[in-house]
Amino acid sequence: MRLGHRLGHRPGHSFGHRFGQKAVAGLTTLLLPVAALVGLASPASAATSATATYAKTQDWGTGFEGKWTVKNTGTTALSSWTVEWDFPSGTSVTSAWDADVTSSGTHWTGKNKSWNGTLAPGASISFGFNGAGTGSPANCKLNGGSCDGGPTVPGDNAPSAPGKPTASDITNTSVKLAWSAATDDKGVKNYDVLRDGAKVATVTGTSYTNTGLTAGTDYSYTVQARDTADQTGPVSGATAVRTTGGGTDPNPGAKVKLGYFTEWGVYGRNYHVKNLVSSGSASKITHINYAFGNVKGGKCTLDDAYAATDKAYTADQSVSGTADTWDQPLRGNFNQLRQLKAKYPNIKVLWSFGGWTYSGGFGEAAANPAAFAASCKALVEDPRWADVFDGIDIDWEYPNACGLSCDTSGFSSFKNLTAALRTEFGSSYLVTAAITADGSSGGKIDAADYGGASASLNWYNVMTYDYFGAFDADGPTAPHSPLTSYSGIPAAGFNSADAIAKLKSKGVPAQKLLLGIGFYGRGWTGVTQSTPGGSATGAAPGTYEAGIEDYKVLKNSCPATGTIAGTAYAYCGNQWWSYDTPATIGSKMSWAKSQGLGGAFFWEFSGDTGNGELVTAINNGLN
């Protein structure tokens, strides 16, 4: 019996052609008093008791999400409000909320609803809208008067956006923020520090410590520069901070529901980010791992620039329903993920590096963990796509062990690498890892310090699949993702329960373990025995790779005929396959909850049916 199997993700079957990456400019979020925009007309009367400011909260090139905020700056209550502005030709509001928005030509009006017109002194209210086009509002009026941002100074440009703040020294009640300076043609005077969109301080330097916070609470910080004429520039990127302590989960009982999206799937598989929406899967997941970035020269690197940042999408192919343009700063999967997050703001996206094919690069990275971590942070925070990613996932599938190649970096190398990543990324980012599920005595889980490394990570994606398959061409036939052991299993410890138990025994908290589900099957041909344990002559044919086929194909071509160890198997003709079905996934999710696990993940979206029945089974099973 040969056990030269792969305990890891399948590599990309076809990465497609590589195209040169276009140099593009960074995107910044706009947050300006609209009266400061070029082209403001002076009103006949001033609304001295209130202000209106505009924020472009999302931007996908030819469309955007905007938000108006009306604030009562006076000493008496405001009984109603009406905001008016002009858009250039070609820019329009397509939908709005929390206000009645109408237009006359290029002139737009937003009036309060019956329930949000009254504003007490110091209070504010916001309403939002989705827009088409690329223009910005001008000629703002609030209740017929000025939106009160102060006129622009002729010949004096507003300052640039400061750098995205970094967070350090986080305690139960405070956090220290620091950022790189903005630039201005006349000089920067100071910076406004915004917490959850509201100003909490104005400082002259490039750091600030915010105190008086609540333990165990999530906050979002941005920074905005002011020049010597008191003009404000665009806000920086946002940094999420969670204070320590508190003792409670912000969403008690919530489970992680994570799926891998493959970069190369946009080629032969014709699977795109929009498919997450059309299948209904986007509303049933919490996280996406974008796979894979490469690891070369001891650094994190972008793998396929064409698929990630350059591929142009037509209106019918895109999440937003708008077509990419030739001069758009960012296209491809990254821009589609940006649009997905605008539509489903609960989804967090992590950039996954490594995988079975690229894990060989981690040995060099482990020689200088700090330099590797710095390279990853710089790539994740590239200004072209910094808003897309909420963290990083490391798929080092065989540290201090053999896989596609052999690694000899040592027992502590994985722990050292993850510790460096956490130090570099801080607490505001997710840092996770996909790891082996080899629960055998002396196997891959024993080869690295997974217990020690878990302190630096939010969770482990435990790859509880690919235990058995036609890489052993003559069998015996066995389920590739057994939940438990069973009589006749070809290798002890090669099952989910043993892997999870071993990781717990090494000190990994149960809530930091996610159970892995494969959205595909593994199969043999030349099989005469319908039950597990039969001999075979080789790998069954597959669409992209022999011995592997998507669930969406197998459910019809070779329907399940039985179950073994919590996983379905199928015998049809002379072929024998094993794969998970909605029913077996439901049982596995129940088991995961009984074990106190943090949730589940799956490899990968494109193997599911067009209506996302496997994602639905995970969602239902974990709720």
Distance CA 467, CA 469 (A): 7
Assign 3-class secondary structure to 563-623: EECCEEEEEECCEEEEECCHHHHHHHHHHHHHCCCCEEEEECHHHCCCCCHHHHHHHHHHC
Strands 207-210, 175-178: parallel, antiparallel or unpaired by DSSP?
A: antiparallel
**DSSP assignment, residue 340?**
H
Distance CA 161, CA 180 (A): 9
Q: Of 65, 397, 424, 613, which is the active-site residue?
A: 397
192 phi and psi, to 5 degrees?
Answer: -90, 130
**DSSP assignment, residue 538?**
E
Assign 3-class secondary structure to 289-302: EEEEEEEECCEEEC
Q: Is 397 considered catalytic here? A: yes
Q: Which residue has the tokens 């043609």?
A: 185
Assign 3-class secondary structure to 37-74: CCCCCCCCCCCCCEEEEEEEEEECCCEEEEEEEEEECC
- Name 335's Cβ contacts closer than 8 Å, sequence gap at least 6: 60, 61, 309, 313, 324, 328
The answer to whether the CB of 323 falls within 8 A of the CB of 313 is yes
Q: Provide the edge-to-edge strand list for the sheet that holds 30-33.
A: 30-33, 50-59, 63-72, 124-132, 92-97
HSE of 613 in the Cβ direction (CA atoms, 13 Å)? 12
Active site residues: 397
